[in-house]
Structure 1
Amino acid sequence: LWACLLFGFLDAAAIRMQGVPLPVVGEVPVQFIQALPYVLTVVLLAGFIGKAVAPKASGKPYVKER
């Protein structure tokens, strides 16, 4: 849910940033601004998922007990 809200916020920010000159760089090409929500979402999610720990039994076959 938070990833969807983050992407929506970044997409709305990208729409607002089109055609707005930045102080140091000037006008940024529209293609970079349109790619910004996708890049930032992947980077932020990779940062959060990198801290996740896999289950201990991952990769071990399940043997059903009788």
Structure 2
Amino acid sequence: MNCYEKEAVLRPENNQVINLTTRYTWSGCVVEDDGIEEVLSCVGGRSFRSVRERWWYIALSKCGVNNC
């Protein structure tokens, strides 16, 4: 599967997707310029609560970008 097909199984309405971009203000992401390069900086937090023991899996993706 390609990157977009893998992401398609997630349900954003269940908070299974956290977009780390400046387009989503709740992400806490801003672009910082140190004079040499621009860097995306994201600061925030999430709480995971459950009534019983669970395994939590976290995956990162960066679809649509050529990472050579």
| Same fold by TM-score greater than 0.5 | no
Q: Larger relative CO (CA 8 A, sep 6+): 1 or 2?
A: 1
TM-score where L is the length of structure 2: 0.23
